[in-house]
Amino acid sequence: MKTQGEIEAALCQAMSRFEQEYMGRGPKEIRSHLIDDMLVVRMQGVLTAAERHLVETLPAEKGRDLLKQVRSQLIEIARPELEKMIHQITGVKPISLHQDISTFTGEEIVIFTLGESPLHRESKK
């Protein structure tokens, strides 16, 4: 059985690998937090050069909305793969997935709601 920190570290590695393979660029920084039956992943520096260019050249709302729509669709398409990954790491099936990205800061947040709190052992202190 993994500790909470081991679950969070495995989630960071898997999400970083997913971003690199699926989105074409990994995050500059990533953190995850297991809070009862919820996993929160915060990634910084995820925008590709093409995405930054899109946001900078189109009118503010149009570029932002277009990028958010594309990212949202890509996450929905990859959802089965992401849910399988979360289930393998935590031992619990995800119920829902929520995602948003800031075109201003390049930060992306992904939240997974799980069917129950994953079992984990206490870490040695």
Cut 0.85: pTM above it: yes
pLDDT tens track for 15-36: 999 999 988 889 999 999 999 9
d(CA 52, CA 106): 9
Which token pair is 122?
């206490």
Angle between helices 60-90 and 49-57 (to 10 degrees): 150
Average confidence (pLDDT) over 3-18: 95
| Domains in the chain: boundaries | 4-114
> Which fold is adopted by the domain 4-114?
Threonyl-tRNA Synthetase; Chain A, domain 2 (3.30.980)
